[in-house]
Structure 1
Amino acid sequence: MKVIILAAGYGTRLFKDLKNDRNEQFKHLIGVPKPLLPIGERPLISYWVEALKVRDDISDIFVVTNNHYHHKFKEWAQKYPFVTLINDGTSSNEERLGAVSCLQLAIDKFQINDHVLVIGGDTLFYEDFHLHNVIGQFETIVKDNNYANLVLSYPCKDEETRKYGILETDENHKVTALREKPSPTDTASRQACPCFYVLSKDSLTCVQTFLDEKKNAPIEEKDAPGHLLSWLVGRNPVHVYPVSGRFDVGNLESYITCHKYFQQNIRNIPTYLQ
């Protein structure tokens, strides 16, 4: 299995919040890409890399960055020589390729023909999440169907459906639809879907097919990976693994919440996420 961590975003909402922070407590974070933000005792992305590196079934870890922040990731990666950085070549948010295109960039560059774990570089989970259990569940479903895929879901409030991709599922926890930021009256589901997907190797060609179909679409349709998932649901099986919640470091408020939680609650760092 390969891992692709999507870390090529520009963090525009967080950057705006930091510039407008009146007490200047967090001004030192200006210019730090979100995956490298200090969370508790280490950069956010390091929690993932530390948990992934001990797994025998993970053969490669790729991190897709942009050109603007590439030098910062190179400095970080000195501690992790087994991590491969991929520069998407863009230098501003206006030039961004979008998350799905970055995923395909990694697939193409390294001719990946294996199961792929896709992780959003600004996401962490609560302590009930364990890679061992999630990958074990994926291995079970892919034995029954080579085209099967696995995604996470967590409960959200009524007023939060407009912020997330919302999964609709059947009685067997198989996804029947993903609705991108629906109103609470448009769906009975309250299952939010974070950017954490386990894609089977037989589904990987779907990424390029999706991009080919969307080549003339606005960048937003190629940036939010939920659009890919919504498209994939109608073609290949997608199953759900439920967790209690996640940290989505999108703005200053969510960063502060996440940072404080890890300072106060994440004690056993060596086993977190494993």
Structure 2
Amino acid sequence: MKAVILAAGYGTRLQRDVSSDSSGRFAHLVGVPKPLLPVGQCPLITRWILALSRSGTVDGIYVVTNAVYQAAFEEWAAQFPGVRVLSDRTRSNEERLGAVAGLQLAVKHFHVQDHVLVVGGDTLFKEDFSLAEVTEKVSQLQVRREDSCLVLSYQCRDEETQKYGILEVDDDLRVLCMKEKPQPSETESRRACPCFYVFSKRSLPLLDAFLEEKKVK
């Protein structure tokens, strides 16, 4: 399995808040991308690298960033021989490709023909999150159907549906659709979807199909 960490966002709101802080406590974080912000003793993204490496299920880790933060990620990645950094060549929030296009870029650039674990570079889970349990669940699903994929979700409050992608599922927990930041009245589901997915290798061609359909719309 390969892992793709999506880190091509610009953190516009975060940088605005950091820059406007008058206390000076956060001045050292100006210009630092969210995945490289410290969580405890190390950057957030480092925690993912360590967890993925310890899992023993990933044999390649690719980080997709942008041209503005490329140098910062390459400097960080120098301590991890198994991590490769790829720039999407954008230089502003208005140019950003989006998560699906970023994933497609990594799949094509690194010629990925394996199952892919995708995680948002600024995604942070609670301490009880178990990567081992996730990979075991994927294995169980793919014994039954090799093209099975896995999407995580958690229960959010009514007023929080407008902040997240909300999954609607059937009785077997198969995804029927995802609604992007719906009003509470627009869906009965309260399953918020973090940026953490496992795609089977047989599903990867659907990235091209999705982006082509999006162009038509």
TM class by smaller structure: over 0.9
Q: Aligned residue for 2:69?
A: 69
Residue type at the aligned position of 1:90: T
The 3-state SS of whatever aligns with 2:124 is: strand
Query: Structure 1 stretches of 5 or more lacking a match?
Result: 218-274
Deviation at 1:31? Answer: 0.4
Deviation at 1:55? Answer: 3.0
Q: Aligned residue for 1:15?
A: 15
The 3-state SS of whatever aligns with 1:122 is: coil
Q: Aligned residue for 1:133?
A: 133
Query: Structure 2 stretches of 5 or more lacking a match?
Result: none
Q: Aligned residue for 2:209?
A: 209
Q: In structure 2, how many angstroms separate the alpha carbons of the residues matched to 1:172 and 1:216?
A: 32
Q: Aligned residue for 1:193?
A: 193
Q: Aligned residue for 1:181?
A: 181
Q: Aligned residue for 2:58?
A: 58
The 3-state SS of whatever aligns with 1:89 is: coil
In the alignment of these two chains, the number of paired residues is 217
Assess if the C-alpha contact under 8 Å between 2:55 and 2:131 holds in 1: no
Q: In structure 1, how many angstroms separate the alpha carbons of the residues matched to 2:57 and 2:40?
A: 28
Deviation at 1:179? Answer: 1.3
2:17 counterpart of 1:30: no
Aligned ranges 1:87-166 → 2 under 5 Å: 87-166=87-166
- Superimposed CA distance per residue, residues 53-95 of structure 1 (whole angstroms, 9 cap, x where no aligned partner): 1233211000011111111111111111110111111122122
User: Please, what TM-score do these two structures have when normalized by structure 2?
Assistant: 0.96
Q: In structure 1, how many angstroms separate the alpha carbons of the residues matched to 2:212 and 2:186?
A: 29
- Superimposed CA distance per residue, residues 145-190 of structure 1 (whole angstroms, 9 cap, x where no aligned partner): 1221101111111100011011112222222221111111111111
Residue type at the aligned position of 1:43: P
Q: Aligned residue for 1:40?
A: 40
Q: Which moved more, 1:18-27 or 1:45-54?
A: 18-27
Q: In structure 1, how many angstroms separate the alpha carbons of the residues matched to 2:56 and 2:125?
A: 22
Q: In structure 2, how many angstroms separate the alpha carbons of the residues matched to 1:79 and 1:13?
A: 29
Q: Which moved more, 1:163-172 or 1:131-140?
A: 163-172
The 3-state SS of whatever aligns with 1:111 is: coil
Q: Which moved more, 1:20-29 or 1:133-142?
A: 20-29
Q: In structure 2, how many angstroms separate the alpha carbons of the residues matched to 1:215 and 1:46?
A: 35
Assess if the C-alpha contact under 8 Å between 2:10 and 2:92 holds in 1: yes
Q: In structure 1, how many angstroms separate the alpha carbons of the residues matched to 2:186 and 2:130?
A: 32
User: Please, what TM-score do these two structures have when normalized by structure 1?
Assistant: 0.77
Q: In structure 2, how many angstroms separate the alpha carbons of the residues matched to 1:55 and 1:39?
A: 20
Deviation at 1:216? Answer: 5.3
Q: In structure 2, how many angstroms separate the alpha carbons of the residues matched to 1:6 and 1:188?
A: 29
The 3-state SS of whatever aligns with 1:32 is: coil
2:86 counterpart of 1:86: yes
The 3-state SS of whatever aligns with 1:81 is: coil
Q: Which moved more, 1:55-64 or 1:43-52?
A: 55-64
The 3-state SS of whatever aligns with 1:197 is: strand
Deviation at 1:18? Answer: 1.1
